[in-house]
Structure 1
Amino acid sequence: MDPPSPGALSQPQAFGLLAAYTLVYVLPLYASSQTRASPGRSRDAPEAIRARIFVVSLSTTACSVATFLLLPYVCTSAAATGCSPLHLMGYWPLGLVETLKSCLLTGLLFAAPLYECLVIDGVWREWASGLQPLRDIWAEWPTWRNLVAGPVTEECLFRSAAIPLLLIAGSSLSRIIFLSPVVFGLAHLHHFYEFRVTHPQTPLVAAIARSVLQFSYTSLFGAYANFLFLRTGSLVAVILVHAFCNSMGLPRVWGAVQPYWLPEADSSRPGHMILWSGIYYVLLIGGAVSWWKNLYPLTESPIALAVF
């Protein structure tokens, strides 16, 4: 992509829009009693989730429309194929091959957690007996929020609506990948306030540590999602990767795994624990190495937003 011409969007303006989009996304969550956290109601209450999904959907739509309308006016020097708003925002082409490769790549990183979930905990039986986990998405509001509404709205805003503006403004790829996710991480810090409201008995230090951890892994994921979006040019890819990562959570990096099929008496034997736990940690290291080696080959795409 060619550098922007004089008079196009500047970098401070682009990052200012990213910050404004973040406020537009977060502040409506506190605009009414239906969406605000309260001591007597969990954020997992169905009525709270429905209200929040509604307001963030409106916020995301407004920001996406703003970027879509703004791009033709600031994209004055890029090549025609790279200047299409639908392409820059990752909507078209869909990038289905890129999506499959991105999911495979992320699966390598989560090889050990997948092994623990499917084999050790026996979740494969729920999939084999009628795709029960998919039915849970439709039946449980917290699952719908975490695996559908959250990934869709956050990726549409923080990737699709924000990254094209940063690109057009001439921001370096390293700044887009590593700096803009800090805003994505900060957008989750309001959970500290909500946690303090709904869990007043929790020590302040523990609540702060929880928020610092959340800020750290959301920022890291934001950097990874930015990398995937720039390399694949596919919004579908980052949405599905986001949903997958939300479903898996943070990988365990210590402790033993305990197969569901072993009685307590057998599972306590050192031999069993060493075997099944050893497989886990081999997959943890091997998966991370395989992920790193395939990071560029599996994200190469003819519809990439940037080549690097």
Structure 2
Amino acid sequence: MLTHKAPAIAPSTAAALSVVFTLIYVVPFYLSSATRPSPQLSRDAPSSIRARVRAVTLSSLISIVLTIYVLYYYGRAPPQEILRLLGVWPISLLDTAKTMLLVATLFAGPLFEAGVVDGGCKDWIRGRRMYEVLSSWMGYRNFVVGPISEEIIWRALIIPLHMLAHVSGKKIIFLTPLYFGIAHVHHLYEFHLTHPNTRLLHAVLISLFQFTYTSLFGFFAAFVFLRTGNVLSPILAHTFCNWMGLPRFWGRVGVVEAGVPIGPPSGDKKDEDANGGIQSKGIMWTVAYYIILVAGAVGFYLQLFPLTESSHAMPVVLIEE
């Protein structure tokens, strides 16, 4: 750990650098017509994604250089210690696997629905669906570039700066993700451009909801980064969460539109509702889903500390003795 008894930088300096990194990441999206969303150019257009990937790569490199400079010049950290503080070395694949098991436990219900109820397990084993998604520009952005760049900025760079300022572990966990959440607020503007007929209040509520769940994930990612001492764990957890999306909290599972049968075709139409508009599996599938969903949440809570325990943990205090 850094040898300074007094903070090498002030907490306000760490906060200011965090804001700077957030702006460096987001502002370039609006400086060029190739990246700036408009009614004529969606953020999901391949040309826009390619331009944004280039912008994010440059922004990340600038932030990395600035962070290394601060750690070396003000923190007097040698190269090996800088690598450790950035969470890039050493990397424990066992710690990463335990983190992914923890995240999969939280998503046990959605995994059951997608893999068992909807029959996606075979595609997962074959890797067919994964290849199709990752070979698209949207998939590359959502599951590769996004998680890597965002976890590098808001975990591997911002957290060590707060450690340098001797910010407590609890504050790091609950403060630094707010920058991550704020970085997504600009999606309100993009949503308004692509949905001009949507009420402003509705758009604001969607933006606030996104801010909430990105911040919640950020709390977890910061916790994992501090507990495991490696950035690979939150990167893969981020990718997994992007892949799964938000869990279902209401409604029935195994419900599809009429004309899209579940399982092999048959002449039995007893699963079709009275209006002929819906086909669904039995109610017990839904009961099982919600039982597994709750059990997964409880398991996540109980295993949060055991599955993130690591000998490579960052030298910050999370639990006062």
Residue in 2 that maps onto 1:243: 239
Overall identity of the aligned pairs, in %:
44
Deviation, 1:278, is 0.8
Per-residue CA distance 1:58-116 (angstroms, 9 max, x = gap): 1011101211222122325x8x89x7010000100112111100000000000001111
**TM-score for both structures, normalised by structure 1:** 0.93
Residue in 2 that maps onto 1:283: 292
User: Map of 1:72-87 to 2, 5 A cutoff?
Assistant: 72-76=72-76, 84-87=81-84
Q: Does 1:219 align with 2:228?
A: no
Change (3 A) 1:15 1:264: farther
CA distance, structure 1, for counterparts of residue 141 and residue 292 of structure 2? 30
More moved, 256-265 vs 229-238: 256-265
Q: Does 1:104 align with 2:113?
A: no
Residue in 2 that maps onto 1:209: 205
Asked whether the equivalents of residues 232 and 303 of structure 1 are also in contact (C-alpha less than 8 Å), the reply is yes
Change (3 A) 1:95 1:267: farther
Residue in 1 that maps onto 2:156: 160
Residue in 2 that maps onto 1:65: 65
More moved, 26-35 vs 174-183: 174-183
CA distance, structure 1, for counterparts of residue 157 and residue 220 of structure 2? 17
Deviation, 1:286, is 0.4
Residue in 1 that maps onto 2:48: 48
Change (3 A) 1:265 1:229: same
CA distance, structure 2, for counterparts of residue 193 and residue 271 of structure 1? 38
CA distance, structure 2, for counterparts of residue 18 and residue 155 of structure 1? 13
**Greater gyration radius:** 2
Deviation, 1:173, is 1.1
Residue in 1 that maps onto 2:258: none
Asked whether the equivalents of residues 3 and 170 of structure 1 are also in contact (C-alpha less than 8 Å), the reply is no
Asked whether the equivalents of residues 253 and 281 of structure 2 are also in contact (C-alpha less than 8 Å), the reply is no
Asked whether the equivalents of residues 95 and 234 of structure 1 are also in contact (C-alpha less than 8 Å), the reply is yes
Tell me, which stretches of 5 or more residues in structure 1 are unaligned?
Answer: none
AA partner of residue 67 (structure 2)? T
Deviation, 1:47, is 0.5
Change (3 A) 1:268 1:100: farther
Deviation, 1:264, is 6.0
Asked whether the equivalents of residues 7 and 166 of structure 2 are also in contact (C-alpha less than 8 Å), the reply is no
Question: Partner of 1:188: helix, strand, or coil?
Answer: coil
Deviation, 1:7, is 6.5
More moved, 260-269 vs 7-16: 260-269
Change (3 A) 1:272 1:200: closer
Tell me, which stretches of 5 or more residues in structure 2 are unaligned?
Answer: 256-261
Counterpart selection for 1:126 from 108, 118, 123: 123
AA partner of residue 252 (structure 2)? A
Runs of 4+ in 1 over 4 A off after TM superposition: 1-4, 267-272
Q: Does 1:266 align with 2:268?
A: no
Residue in 2 that maps onto 1:20: 20
AA partner of residue 102 (structure 1)? T
CA distance, structure 2, for counterparts of residue 33 and residue 178 of structure 1? 35
CA distance, structure 2, for counterparts of residue 189 and residue 170 of structure 1? 28
CA distance, structure 2, for counterparts of residue 207 and residue 268 of structure 1? 34
Q: Does 1:114 align with 2:123?
A: no
Residue in 1 that maps onto 2:227: 231
AA partner of residue 184 (structure 2)? H
Residue in 2 that maps onto 1:9: 9
Question: Partner of 1:228: helix, strand, or coil?
Answer: helix
Q: Does 1:32 align with 2:43?
A: no
Per-residue CA distance 1:220-275 (angstroms, 9 max, x = gap): 00111000000001111110000000011111111110163387632659995321
AA partner of residue 85 (structure 2)? L
AA partner of residue 174 (structure 1)? K
Per-residue CA distance 1:128-162 (angstroms, 9 max, x = gap): 4x311221243211111110010000001000011
Deviation, 1:287, is 0.4
> More helix per residue: 1 or 2?
1
AA partner of residue 111 (structure 2)? L
Change (3 A) 1:37 1:271: closer
Deviation, 1:213, is 0.6
Asked whether the equivalents of residues 4 and 170 of structure 1 are also in contact (C-alpha less than 8 Å), the reply is no
User: Map of 1:163-178 to 2, 5 A cutoff?
Assistant: 163-178=159-174
Residue in 2 that maps onto 1:180: 176
Asked whether the equivalents of residues 71 and 165 of structure 1 are also in contact (C-alpha less than 8 Å), the reply is yes
Change (3 A) 1:52 1:265: farther
AA partner of residue 61 (structure 2)? T
AA partner of residue 19 (structure 2)? A
AA partner of residue 68 (structure 1)? I
More moved, 133-142 vs 26-35: 133-142
Asked whether the equivalents of residues 84 and 229 of structure 2 are also in contact (C-alpha less than 8 Å), the reply is yes
Deviation, 1:2, is 7.0
